[in-house]
Each structure stands twice: as structure tokens, then as C-alpha cells.
Structure 1
């Protein structure tokens, strides 16, 4: 399985007990969706390796308590401590309305209520405090904050996100 075909679920953050159980911090708003997993992909080096689960249950708020098959000791658990967890993209629950996954909108057009076409979304930069659409408009990079205040409508059929940006923001890029 390739990382491009998967989504990041979380990271193994600590051992739990002495029999190989682990705790993973999930990167999701709905951790309960993942409490009955049968398997996950664990990032080992540059590869995703399938690991099958004996037990998987929520532990507090965003932690998932995992007991993998073939991991029965503290030493076995320590070997994968800090590893990232992935699941295939098709396991993502579908989103509707103006909600979307960042990978889903790559290639969509941005259309501003005042300025019209703002360009094609090339990526979403979520490394800073504010996620940004990174769009290309005729060879110029345009950065638009991903915020509900700007997004008016996500049109999946036409592959367009309709936005209303504050006056002057697009002038930074398009004049």
C-alpha cells in the first residue's frame, strides 16, 4: 500500500501496560469511528506495513488503545512506538455540504464572488496556524485561508469552491 492511497489516522504515542498494548493519538474529530478496526497500516521506515488487531477501543478522548497480533511484550511494543498509522482513503467517511478533505479538493477551481476565477487548487498547506489553499492562477501562486468565513459553497459536481474573500486580499496576488 502506498501513502498516497491512504490517509493519516494518528501516531502511536505510548505503551499501555506490560502485554504489548499501545496508545495512539488520533488526528480526527470523530475518534469513535475508528474504535472497531480490524487492521491498520503502520509506517515502518519508508513502507506501510499491515498490522492486524486483536483489540481496538477508545481510551479517553482522542486516544485509541490498540493490541496488535504478534505484539505481546513491552519490548515488541517499544519497537513501533512513535510510528504513524494509516488507513486506505476509501475508509474515510463521506463529507457533504461545505465540509471536505484537503486531498479531495486538489484540482478544484476557486471562484471569488467579486473577482471570479482565482485559480486551481494545487495543494493545501496545513503546516502553519491557518491552513491555506495554494492555488495557481496563470502561473501566479495565490494563497487563500481555508476558513468557513470565506467558503460559501463547495460544488463537487463542477469541482469549484465558491469563496468570498475580504476586499484587498486577492489584490496582493492578482494585480
Structure 2
């Protein structure tokens, strides 16, 4: 294993197994699957709290998710405890970002404030759809799903840890 410089960034989560040979289903938070398909090393932050650095022996796309087989793990029984693990890559393994692009690790936990409704809560999760990424915010309005598109996102201030949005009527439910 090599020791790469740069911090580890969460790019996805193991959401299940596939078949009996130890393939893991990875749901990426965002971006293109090539970042994981091309990775020669990944780090898993297991539900137990342990961090495990492993080498993929097989990576492929399957129904919008990445199937990952790891060296030394060749049965479903060995990989089942990995379900729920965060998948991390070294920053150096990731492509350079464009001006208005962010890593999920930078966005997670931001306070989200709507121009009309005020504080919506914290950015809790993100998932990818065919059309765009979607932010999941949890707070006083319950769970609010926000399409990650320029027309709704006014500003992302990483220094202040705030995302300012202007959402249309109906996207935010009435306060719980």
C-alpha cells in the first residue's frame, strides 16, 4: 500500500452486496463513476469505526452504482460487515474541481438558509439522479430535498459553513 498525500474525502457509501463472490454495491454521492472505476486503492470507514485501506480487483457499473470487488475479500460472508461503510479516496486521486464545484466532504453539515423560510437545517446527505444531484436537508421542516441546480443555490460559503438558497413555493413543507 502506498501512502498518498492529501486528506481522505468521502465519495460514496457501500449500500449492499451483489452476488456471492464478495462484490459490494457503492452509491456515489456525486460526480462521475470513473473516479471509483479508475481507483487503484480505496479506504473504507467501516460501521465499526475501523478504517481499512484496500485494493480493488474488479470495478464495474451496474444500474447506476459501482460494483467493487476487493483483494482478499472473495465471499459475501467476508464483505457483509462492510455494508454501510463510507468509501473514501485521497484528494490526490480526485479530478480538479471547476470554479463552482465542491466535494461532498466540504458541503456535509452546512447550515442551509432559504431566502423566504429562513433556516431549513443542516445538509445531511446528497444523492445523484439522472437529471442532477439532490441535497437532503434535515431540520425544523423535516426532510427537505433540494435540487442542486444554479437556479436554487444562491451562495455556498464554506468559511461561514452556510448554503443560501431561494426555493420555490411548495418545495419546503410547512413547519413540523
Q: With structure 1 as the length reference, what TM-score do the two structures score? A: 0.56
Residues 1:79 and 2:78 aligned together: yes
Alignment of 1:6-155 (within 5 A): 7=10, 8-11=12-15, 13-15=17-19, 22-28=22-28, 30-42=32-44, 46-53=48-55, 55-61=57-63, 62-68=65-71, 70-71=72-73, 74=75, 78-81=77-80, 83-84=82-83, 85=85, 86-88=87-89, 90=91, 94=97, 97=100, 101=104, 104=107, 106-112=109-115, 115=116, 118-119=118-119, 121-124=121-124, 132-135=136-139, 141-143=140-142, 144-147=144-147, 148=149, 151-155=152-156
Question: Which residue matches 1:138?
Answer: none
Distance 1:89-1:56 versus aligned 2 partners, 3 A rule: same
Kept in 1: contact 2:60–2:68 (CA 8 A)? yes
Q: Which runs of 5+ in 2 are unaligned?
A: 1-7, 128-133
Q: Which runs of 5+ in 1 are unaligned?
A: 136-140
**What SS class does the counterpart of residue 41 from structure 1 fall into?**
strand
Structure with the largest fraction of helix: 1
Question: Which residue matches 2:5?
Answer: none
**What SS class does the counterpart of residue 10 from structure 1 fall into?**
strand
Higher-RCO chain (CA-CA 8 Å, sequence separation at least 6): 2
- For residues 99 and 113 of structure 2, what CA distance do their matches in structure 1 show? 18
CA RMSD of superposed structures (Å): 4.3
**What SS class does the counterpart of residue 55 from structure 2 fall into?**
strand
The alpha-carbon deviation at position 125 of structure 1 amounts to 6.1
The alpha-carbon deviation at position 120 of structure 1 amounts to 7.0
Higher Cα radius of gyration = 1
Kept in 1: contact 2:114–2:167 (CA 8 A)? no
The alpha-carbon deviation at position 153 of structure 1 amounts to 2.1
